[in-house]
Structure 1
Amino acid sequence: MENIKPLAQLKGHGKRVGHVKFNPVAENVAASSGLDYSVRLWDIEHQGEKGAVGGFQDTIQSLDWNYNGTLVAASSRDKKLRLVDLRAKQVVGTAPSHQGGKGSRVVWLGSTGKLATTGFGRTSGRELFVWDVANLEKPELTIEIDTSSGILMPFYDESSKMLYLAGKGDGNIRYYEYEKSKMFYINEYTSTDPQRGMAAMPKRGVNVRDIELMRLFKAVNSNSIEPISFKAPRKDESFQADLYPPAPGGLAALSSEQYFSGSTADPVLVDFESIYTNGIAKLVPAEPTPVVSSETTPSSPPPSRASAPPPPLSPLASPHPESPVLSPTSAVESPHTISEPPSPTAGKSREIAEAPATANVYPPLEAVDTFLLDAKIEKVVSGYQELINQHSEALSKKIDSLTETQLALETKISELESSNTQLLSKISSYEQEIDSLKQLTDSLQTKSADLEDSFKAHDSRVSELESNLVTTIAAAAKLTSAVENFSP
C-alpha cells in the first residue's frame, strides 16, 4: 500500500470521511458522509463537489442510494432516518428511527420504494424496521430480532426478494423474504466463528446453474475472508426464471453530465437466461429520462445514450471457482408466492459479445463491474481502516495506561528494593550485636565458673578456719579452767 498513489483527491469534508457510495446508474458519481455531519455529492470525472447537505445532529452511521440513484437514505446517531436529494441539496424526508444508542444501518429494498433499517430499541434489543418512502410517519413493519449486542448489517437481493441480516460480532445470518409489504422469516445460518465484517457480491456474479441466490463474504479475522453461498434447494435443471429476473449489470446508464443536468434512468440490466442458455451476456438497456431538477434547467435536452451503448460484457470464469460453499442447512426457498419477474423483453435485448466455446455460464464480476468493484473494495478497506484506527486508538490508550502502570510498578519495586537493602543492613547490624552478646555471655559464663571455683575454695577455707577456731576455743576453755583451778 505504500507505493499506491491516488489518481485524484476530492476535498470538501471538514473532518474524517466515514462512508462513500457510488451512484448505481451514473458514471463516476458518488456520495459521501463525514464526521462533519454532512452528506456530499461528487463528480469524480471532473474532481469536484456538486452539493452538500448538513443538518445532521450526530455521526452518520449508514448511507445508501435508491434504485435509480435519485435519493440517498442516511441513518444517524441522532436517532433519525433522512432522505436526501443531493442534486437539489435538501433533505426531502425525516423520520424518528431506532431509539437505542448503538449503531443503525439502512438499505433500500430494490425498486419497491421501501427502506429497511436495523438498530436498537430503548431496551437495547435489536430491531428491524421497514419504511414506505411515501409515508415516513412510522415504520410500515417493526420486527424485534433479539437482545444481542452486535450491529445488524442488512443486504437485500431484489431478484429473490430476500433480506439478509448479518450480526457483527456473532456468527449468525438471518434471512427473510419481503413480499406484499410483509417480511417472512425463512431461516438462519449459524457459525461458531464471529464475523468482523460482511460484504455481498452483486447478483450478476452468482452461479445460475447451481441456483445460487446470494454470496456473502465474511471477514473472519484480519487476514481471512470466507465466502458463504445461499442456494435454492431445487432439483429442476432448467432456468429458474422466477429467481433470476434481469438484474443490474454494473454499467452506467447515464454519464455524469447527464446526471448533473437532471436526467434520471433505471440501471442497465443483465438478462440471466441468455447467460444460462449459451453463456452470452445480453443487456436490457434503460433509456435515460430527462428530469428538470429544482435547481437546474438545461437549455437543451441531455444527449441520448441510445447511440452510445454500454461496453460489452465478456463471459469469464467465476471469481471464486474453488471457494468452499457454505449452504444453510435448511431450505432457502419460501412457501410464499413470489411475484412474476419483469419480462426480459421489456426493453430491447442486445447481444453484447460472442462467447468462446469454453465460456462460463454465469456473468463475470471482473468484466461487468471493474470500476465499481474497486470502489466497493476501497469502501471495505476504508471501513476496516476506520475500525483499525479505532482499535489502534483504544489500544494506544491501553498501552499508555499499561506503561504508566509499569512505571508505577517499577518505582514501587525500586522503593521495595531500597527498603529491602536497609532491612538487610539492619539485620546484619543485629547479627553483629548478637555475636557480641554471645561473646559477652561466654565471658560471663567463664567468670561465673571461676567465681564458683573461688567460692568453693573460700568455703573450704572457712570450714577449715571454723574447725581451727573451735579447736582454739576448746583449748582456751581448758586453759581458762586450768587457770581458775590453779592455787598457789
Structure 2
Amino acid sequence: MARVVRNSKFRHVFGQAAKKQDCYENIRITKSAWDSTFCSVNPKFLAIITESAGGGAFLVLPLDKIGRIDRDVPLVTGHKAAVLDIAWCPHNDNVIASGSEDCTVKVWQIPDGGLTSSNLTQPAVDLVAHQRRVGQVLWHPSALNILLSAGNIEINGSGDMKIFIWNVGKSMILQTIDCHPEVILSVSWNFTGSRIVTSCKDKIFRIINPRTGQIVKSGMGHQGAKPARAIYLRDGRIFSTGFSRMSERQYALWDEDNLGISLTMEELDSSNGILFPFYDEDTSLIFLCGKGDSTIRYFEYTPDAPYIHYINTYSSSDPQRGMGVMPKRGMNISTCEIAR
C-alpha cells in the first residue's frame, strides 16, 4: 500500500546555528530562577537580562554589534532590584519595557545605535502600582502604547497577583484584573488583542476580557504541579505546555469555548525544564524550547485533526539559558529564513 505523506510547505525546515564570528560572546546572563525567557529581540536591537550587583540591569546591543562584549559595556540600570522580564514594543523598535522585583514597570527609550557612553538610568515612563514583584510585561499586539503587567508573590507567600493594563502615554491604569488566587504563570494576548489567556498555579486556564476584567471562560489545564504556559493561536484556539501527574512534559490544544477538555494532548519526555512555546501566526509553526534543554522542537498547527504535526528538532551541544523570537520584519528572506 502506498504511504501517504502529509502535504506541508515546512516538511523540510531545518535549524542552522550562526557562525562563531556572527555570535555575541562574554555576556553575563542573569542566574535568576524566575521562569522568564530573559531575552527579547527586534530588527534593531538584542536585549538580555544580565547579572548585576546592587540592583537590576539588562544589556541592549545593536544587532550588528557582534563579537566579544566588553565587561564595562553600558547597561540599562534604573531598577533597584533584579529585572525579571523585558519586552520590545511592537510599534516602536526603540522602546522597551521591563518588570522587576522592585515592584515597578519601566519603559525605556533606547537611542539609535544603542547605548554608547554611559549606563541608562532614567526611564521614559515609570509605572508604579504593583505591591510585589512584577513577573511579566507584555505589549498589546495592535493598540499603540498599551502594556500589560502581571504581579507575583514573594518567596514568603505575600503578593498581589494582579494584572494591570496600562496606557503608557498617560502613565495611567486602564484596567485592573484581580481574579487569580495563586501565582500567575503566563499571560498571552489573542491575535486581535480582544482577549487574554492566563495560566495559574491552581492549574486553571482563564480567558479574560481585558476591557472589563471579567473571566469569560475557565477550565482545568495540565494536571502536573510544575508550571504550565498557554498562548493564543491565530484562530482563537489555545496551545499550552505543562506537565502530567507523573511529571512528564506535555503539550495540548484547547478550544476557547470548551476549556477543560483538550482537543489533543501529547507527552514529550520526562525532562524537568519548563517548555516555552513560541507561535508564528504567519506560518502556523510552533517552536518549543526550554531553559537547560539543548533542543528546539518545531510543530505545525492545522485547524483539522490531529491538529499538531511534528516537523523536526534542532539540537545543539550548548544548553539554552534564554530565548527570544525575531519579528518577521527582521528575517533574511534572501536565505529563505522563516524564523530566528
The question of a shared fold, defined as TM-score above 0.5 by the shorter chain, is answered with yes
Question: Which residue number in structure 1 is paired with residue 276 of structure 2?
Answer: 153
- Per-residue CA deviation, residues 57-109 of structure 1 (Å, 9 max, x unaligned), is 21111111110111111111111111111211211111101121212112221
- Tell me how far 1:167 sits from its aligned partner: 2.0
% identical aligned pairs = 39
The answer to whether 1:135 aligns with 2:252 is: no
Checking the alignment, whether the CA contact within 8 Å between 1:40 and 1:86 is kept in structure 2 is: no
Aligned: 1:79 with 2:203 = yes
CA 1:99–1:107: 2 relative to 1, 3 Å = same
Cα offset, 1:42, TM superposition: 0.6
Within the alignment, does 1:194 sit opposite 2:311 as a pair?
no
**For 1:337-369, what per-residue CA distance to the aligned partner results, in whole angstroms no more than 9, with x for missing partners?**
xxxxxxxxxxxxxxxxxxxxxxxxxxxxxxxxx
| 1:213 paired to 2:338 | yes
Once the two structures are TM-superposed, the CA of residue 43 in structure 1 deviates from its matched residue by 0.7
1:95 aligns with 219
1:236-262 deviations in Å (ceiling 9; x for gaps): xxxxxxxxxxxxxxxxxxxxxxxxxxx
| C-alpha distance after superposition, 1:110-149 (max 9, x if no partner) | x211111111111000010111112213111111111111
1:209 Cα deviation after fit: 2.1
Partner SS, residue 75 of structure 1: strand
Aligned length: 214
2:308 partner letter: M
**Is the 1:172–1:190 Cα contact (8 Å) retained in structure 2?**
yes
What residue is the counterpart of 1:22 in the other structure? Answer: 139
For residue 298 of structure 2, the aligned residue among 169, 172, 175 is 175
**Partners of 1:22 and 1:62 in 2: how far apart?**
14
Distance 1:43 1:164 in 2: 31
Of 223, 244, 249, 1:126 maps to: 249
> Is the 8 Å Cα contact of residues 53 and 91 (structure 1) preserved in structure 2?
no
User: How many angstroms does 1:183 deviate by?
Assistant: 0.6
- How far off is 1:158 after superposition? 2.0
Would you say 1:31 and 2:148 are equivalent positions?
A: yes
Greater RCO, 1 or 2 (C-alpha within 8 Å, sep 6+): 2
- What's the offset of the Cα at 1:17? 0.7
CA shift for structure 1 position 150: 0.7
Q: For the residues of structure 1 that align with 2:250 and 2:318, how far apart are their CA atoms?
A: 23
d(CA) in 1 for partners of 2:181, 2:295: 32
Any unmatched runs of 5+ in structure 1? 216-488
Instruction: Check the 8 A contact 1:64/1:106 in 2, yes or no.
Output: yes
What is the alpha-carbon distance in structure 2 between the residues aligned to residue 157 and residue 6 of structure 1? 31
The question of whether the paired residues in 1 share the 8 Å contact of 2:217 and 2:257 is answered with no
Give, in angstroms, the shift of residue 214 of structure 1.
0.6
Instruction: Report the secondary structure of 1:143's partner residue.
Output: strand
Q: Which runs of 5 or more residues in structure 2 are unaligned?
A: 1-75, 78-119, 153-159
Distance 2:312 2:180 in 1: 36
Q: Contact 2:221 / 2:260 at 8 angstroms: preserved in 1?
A: no
Moved over 6 A (4+): none
Residues of 1 paired with 2:130 and 2:262: CA distance?
A: 32
Other-structure match for 1:283 = none
SS at match of 1:209: helix
Deviation at 1:161, TM superposition (A): 1.3
**What is the alpha-carbon distance in structure 1 between the residues aligned to residue 264 and residue 148 of structure 2?**
28
Please report how far the alpha carbon of residue 6 of structure 1 lies from its aligned counterpart in structure 2 after TM superposition.
Answer: 1.5
User: Is 2:231 the partner of 1:107?
Assistant: yes
Q: Report the AA paired with residue 153 of structure 1.
A: F
1:294-333 residue CA offsets vs partner (Å, 9 max, x unmatched): xxxxxxxxxxxxxxxxxxxxxxxxxxxxxxxxxxxxxxxx
1:162 match: 285
Question: What is the CA-CA distance between 1:204 and the residue it aligns to?
Answer: 2.1
3-state DSSP class of the match of 1:127? Answer: strand
* RMSD of aligned Cα (Å): 1.2
The residue aligned with 2:100 is none
CA contact (8 A) 2:150 2:162 kept: yes
What letter corresponds to residue 136 of structure 2 in structure 1? H
Please say which of residues 129-138 and 167-176 is displaced more in the overlay: 129-138
TM-score by length of 2: 0.61
Residue type at the aligned position of 1:166: C
Structure 2 residue identity aligned to 1:85:
N
Structure-to-structure mapping, 1:73-472, within 5 angstroms: 73-109=197-233, 111-181=234-304, 182-215=307-340
Instruction: Tell me the equivalent position of 2:87.
Output: none
3-state SS, counterpart of residue 63 of structure 1: strand
Letter in 2 for 1:41: I
**2:108 matched to which residue of 1?**
none
Q: TM-score, normalised by structure 1?
A: 0.43
SS class of match (1:173): strand
Mapped to 2, the partners of 1:43 and 1:4 lie a distance apart of: 22
Q: 1 CA distance for matches of 2:322 and 2:241?
A: 15
Residues 64 and 73 in structure 1, CA contact (< 8 A), matched pair in contact too? yes
Determine which structure has the larger helix proportion and give its number.
1
Local SS of the residue matching 1:169:
coil
CA distance in 2, matches of 1:11, 1:117: 31
Q: Deviations over 1:368-407 (max 9, x none)?
A: xxxxxxxxxxxxxxxxxxxxxxxxxxxxxxxxxxxxxxxx
